[in-house]
Structure 1
Amino acid sequence: MRQRVVRVALTAALVAVVLLAGPLALVIRSSLYTAQRDTLERTALAGAVRVSPDFATGDPVELPRPLPGGTLGLYDPKARLRAGSGPADGDVPVRRALGGGLVRSGTGGRIVVTVPVSHAERVIGVVRASSPAGAVRRRVLTAWGVLLGVALLAVLIAVLVARRQARALAAPLEELSEHCRAVAEGDLSRRAASSTVAEIDQVARTHNEMLHSLAELLRRERDFTGNASHQLRTPLAGLQLALEEGLGQGRDSPLRPVVAEALATTRRLHRTVEELLRLSRSRGWAHAAATYVPVRRLVQETVDRWHGPFARDGRRLLSSADDLPADLRVPGAPVSEVLGILLDNARVHGRGSVQVRVRDLGSALALDVSDEGSVGGDRARLFDRGHSGGGAGAGIGLALARDLAVSLGGRLSMTRADPATFMLLLPVDPACGEDPAP
């Protein structure tokens, strides 16, 4: 912005200088030459007044002193020099003046003015005054130099004023940009300060009002998430205790496998609630506080957990992760949640066999979940919250899975529509170890 303001001011100053200085330079040149001709004319007229009608018979004529470097001479009707200085034979201006009119001209690098001398209504001689044109030319160049210096000074002043004004305009905008960068980094308590520019102050006030509304909205959402998680913890803990007690007392009960599965499901639900709460409070990558587990074990546990629901639907669930390094670890709970959402999406909206495949890409890890169905509709809105491609569900699962992937520094995308294939791309660090279980 600063450079743009300076360029605009410089362009305006140059245009003004060209439009004003050009005609002014021509006026200066014309006025200096006109002034020199007027001076020569006055000198010639002063000499013509001193010419006696009898000068042709030998009466001496005393002409005024010529201009410095110039000549002043009296010529008879035959264009011969009779007094003063100048060419012996009259030139063209002298011959033209013998016709009875004053002549101004330039010839041979000199400015010449000739004045006829009349007596008894006839021309009896001509007074010729001249001066070198070089002297006038030097005065013109000197004046042009002064004009150029004034123009450059005006341009310089315009640039300095423009730079100062650009700083005055850009400083509040730069401060507002720095403020927005701090807000983008998570500091919602920052507020834009006022400046001396009314329009920028209006933008700052609108920005502060928007930021206040946004901070209030985020506070309410975080409070709701915390309250919901807190209220869910107590009944979930009571349900776990009841199931554990029932599992311990009914060792020979035929319902023991069902109770054990319900207990495992309740524990997973508890971990899901904790993960969602941690994600809502996190300002950075979620894996900074997540527990790292071997990816092969994670995939196997996920497949084992989802094998029953797919088997009841008469569908197969396959996995492929045997060629991965044993020490390759990923954040356990978030990745498990994403895989769970993708498998549930494949069970509800897909068809045929489902396969979970893990690929080692060196500095990244790709987890593919595919089935034999296809994805229709608007693919651009597939991950929008509230949009359900199949018409069943609330349209939250894929949006939540995408947010979890982003919180891990990764990306979730649909790589193929037929057969439907989703890919979770994660950055990995093979050197990271498994955190102790809480």
Structure 2
Amino acid sequence: MRARVVRVALVAAAVALLLLAVPLAVAVRFTFVADENGELERDAMATVVRVGPDFAAGDPVELPGGRGETQRGVYDATGRLRSGAGPATGGDAVREARAGGVARKRAGGELVIAVPVSSGERVIGAVRASTSARTVWNRVLWAWAALLGLCLLALGAAVIVARRQASVLSSPLEALARTSLAIADGDLTARADHSTIAEIDEVARAHNAMVERLARLLEQQRHFTANASHQLRTPLTGLQLGLEAALADPGADARAALAEAAEKTRHLDHTIDELLRLATSDASMSLPSPAQEVGELLEAAERRWHGVLARDGRRLDVLWEPEPGKLPVPGRTTDQILDVLFDNAHRHGGGTVTVTLRDLGTALAVDVADEGTAALESRVIFERGIGEGSGIGLALARELAAAAGARLALSGTAPTRFTLLLPLDGGR
């Protein structure tokens, strides 16, 4: 691009100089010739005033001093040289002057001016002034050389300005190209810098907006993959173990095992729906989720996790009053958050897990507590990648809560207690 900008600037400057220099060179030539003719005419007129009325009778003429390169001669009425320098016969220029007019001619490589000499109303002779045309052309050529030098100087300045301007124009684009290559290599934090060119800045802003959008999409994709892996692994393991246990026990109730497997499959389907909804929705908008009584959700969660905790010798207590238990909340979202909190208590907590439902009037509070101690502060415990495990569950639970217009917080550290606040439409 730099070479192209310089080339375009040079072509434009050359065309401009050509359009200016050619007419100027022609004007210089005509000006120099006209000036020389003017000088010759003044020399001739200065000689005319020295020719007296007795010139026709043979009176001699004293020529005034003039320029060294100018020849002056006085011719009589017959066209013969009487005084000064010049050809013996005046030629066409003297002949036209004897007819009563000023003659301007070029003859024999000279510029010639002939002026008539009059006495009374009669032309009695002519004064011829001439100079070498080479002298005039030498001055013209020197002027053209100076003009050419100025043109070359202007072209040189144009090259300097064009190279600088090319650098100004191409540097932001080269930086944008480097940024694009960095992004192509996987650096999604690279951003195009601001420049002094509005059009390039507009391209840079569009480029940055595109990269930010792609980064968000890729982050959502990564989060969805991690979330799906985190949320589906435990239920799938439980489903597999339940089916294998039913197959291994000849006296097992196959219908009960299939009913339990169907319930777990429905739960997996709801889990996938929630994860997809979270991955494809704007974080600033609440996710629509079918309403369900909170008591039903707590009972379903108790069925899923009672056996898991019991196998480790731990108790699960779910405490709630019948009236608050009938209040509707976002069903699938609340279900997923409860699974994350139960899984966190199972993996990182200890002792009895206690779930308490509290009616706050404008919201429902669900407390999930165990007898362990939280090792992380509330400001970092919900960040992804934090903690001893994968660091996904609590971050996902908070994202689900925020997307549904709810709030999840660490309300106690010794013992560990998480509180989920579920707003009620218009209170009660």
TM-score by structure 2 length?
0.56
Residue number in structure 1 paired with 2:33: 33
Match of 1:109 in 2: 109
Q: Over aligned residue pairs, what C-alpha RMSD do you find?
A: 2.5
Query: Is residue 49 from structure 1 mapped to residue 54 from structure 2 by the alignment?
Result: no
Question: How far is 1:187 from its partner?
Answer: 1.0
Structure-to-structure mapping, 1:393-412, within 5 angstroms: none
CA distance in 2, matches of 1:224, 1:66: 104
Per-residue deviation, 1:244: 5.3
The residue number in structure 2 matching 1:9 is: 9
Alignment correspondent of 2:153: 153
Residue ranges of structure 1 left out of the alignment (5+ in a row): 256-438
Deviation of the 1:66 alpha carbon: 4.4
Matches within 5 A, 1:216-255: 216-242=216-242
1:94 match: secondary structure: helix
Q: What is the Cα deviation at residue 65 of structure 1?
A: 3.0
C-alpha contact 2:55 2:124 (8 A) present in aligned 1: no
Deviation at 1:8, TM superposition (A): 2.1
Name the structure 1 match of 2:208. 208
CA distance in 2, matches of 1:8, 1:129: 52
User: What residue number does 2:347 align with?
Assistant: none
Q: What does 1:308-319 correspond to in 2, within 5 Å?
A: none
Matched to 1:57, the amino acid is: A
1:144 maps to 144
Contact kept in structure 1, 2:40 and 2:70, CA below 8 Å: no
Given that residues 192 and 204 in structure 1 are in contact (C-alpha distance below 8 angstroms), is that contact kept between their aligned partners in structure 2? yes
Displacement of 1:108 in angstroms is 0.5
The percentage of aligned residue pairs carrying the same residue is 56
In 2, are the aligned partners of 1:77 and 1:125 still within 8 Å (CA)? yes
1:119 aligns with: 119
Q: Shift in Å at residue 164 of structure 1? A: 0.6
Q: Deviations over 1:192-250 (max 9, x none)?
A: 11111122222222222222222122211211121112222223333444555566667
C-alpha contact (below 8 Å) 1:179/1:190 kept by paired residues:
yes
Are 2:72 and 1:77 equivalent residues in the alignment?
Answer: no
Q: Aligned partners of 1:173, 1:243: CA distance in 2, in Å?
A: 62
Distance 2:208 2:82 in 1: 96
Name the residue aligned to 1:193: 193
Distance in 2 of aligned mates of 1:202 and 1:134: 62
Residue 21 (str. 1) matches residue 21 (str. 2): yes
Task: Judge conservation of contact 1:66–1:129 (CA < 8 Å) in 2.
Answer: no
Question: Shift of residue 139 of structure 1?
Answer: 0.4
Cα offsets for 1:104-150 (capped at 9, x unmatched): 11110000000000002010010000000000000000000000111
Letter in 1 for 2:24: L
- Partner residue, 1:404: none
SS at match of 2:53: coil
Distance (Å, rounded) in 2 between the aligned partners of 1:90 and 1:219 = 102
- Secondary structure of the residue aligned to 1:186 is coil
Q: Is the 8 A contact 1:67 1:131 kept in 2?
A: no
Larger CA Rg, structure 1 vs 2: 2
What is the deviation of 1:14?
Answer: 1.2
- Supply the distance in 1 between the matched residues of 2:162 and 2:62 (Cα, whole angstroms): 64
Aligned to 1:336: none
Q: Does 1:67 align with 2:67?
A: yes
Task: Report the CA distance between 1:53 and its aligned residue.
Answer: 1.6
CA distance in 1, matches of 2:178, 2:118: 88
Q: Secondary structure at the match of 1:54?
A: helix
Once the two structures are superposed, residues 59-79 of structure 1 have per-residue CA deviations (whole angstroms, 9 ceiling, x without a partner) of 221012343233110000111
Contact kept in structure 1, 2:117 and 2:125, CA below 8 Å = yes
Give, as a single letter, the amino acid of the residue that structure 1 aligns with 2:90. G
